[in-house]
Structure 1
């Protein structure tokens, strides 16, 4: 394995072990209750540094483990002082940790390209730009197109008392659905798309048995087929462009 990749995996593994494997529910509850006075918080941050040191196996270098320990402590303290521990706070917490790990990886990898050079290389890389554009297209413009195209049917079933779904759930499902389809196409796993269609058909069959109206089922089917078709078209165009 390439040394730079190995360093990245080691740093990430140390973080996963610290935050998700060795952190018990009791420790989380204690930290939330005591915050900066919780000895679990200090032990947790210290564990992050120790695991980083052990996995990197750079026995004479302590700078990265110390930085990981200190930043892990303050990032977790920031999270503990937030009024709500919701998904947004969790994602921000993990993003801050990952930014520290990226900086540590950059520091430990002398051959790493400088940030301006990396941006310059990516901005002129056809494959990267094409894939990035494809994901942005299936997430935003395609969702907008489907929403506009199915608006009249959405309004028609909006007053249906049998309609009982989570707010914006369909939009979120559609986004992940299109991301998954595009990923399968770009990784040359066309057959798996059939399993995805089959799984969704089973779910719709369950909906029909639970009392959802035919109009609602047809509306979801139209949106699903449009979502699949547009994602497949975008993915196929990208494959033609970069492969």
Structure 2
């Protein structure tokens, strides 16, 4: 497998993790995991969904090729079998083990600190810790899947080469990252201000603020990718027109806005560099030289 093929495959697997971990999981799943740990039905369903979606993304181009050429099914079966074994089974088992272990650790930490309240809720000061720990562990599993799938036959790309597809995956991943993972980062940074802002204890206002954060981060990344930096300035100026009388709430909104914009700008700038400024080609060249040396 060429280096560009390996990068495209990894970037194809990573959105599956982001979707199943942050987009497709209902809110009650987290509470059920922390209450019931390994016996959680939602944890099992989450692990199966993670394996199934990863398999779908791993075999995406093979499936498209078979739909276009039904006679190729017998020849494609070995690749589908490997994708099913490595992508589905390994990812499902690892999701169950990693998320179950994190749930037990968090529940035990909550019990030791005697915080009270609903034992199914994730402690705020542990949210970022579990986010990064779980993300790093799942990322390692995806690298293992990449290595196991790499000796297969050439990938039947349907409409473009690997470099063009890498650009598409980079753009898609940048939008996924600024949504829920970006929102969790913002929530962790502004936690102390949020605890002091009494008005934001109301669920409706909290949900509205979360939705506004999603929209503003998506817009900022979009403006960067279409090279409309002036629009970002107008967007920031428009948000600055809001006036809030309560100092605590104003600090909460200002800090949250700045952190949200910073996350979106950093991710958008990194994506723009990779897509438009030769970053992808440089990564491919560097990894090719590194593999030749090793």
TM superposition score normalised by structure 2: 0.38
Q: Which has the higher contact order (CA 8 A, sep 6+)?
A: 2
- Larger Cα-atom Rg: 1
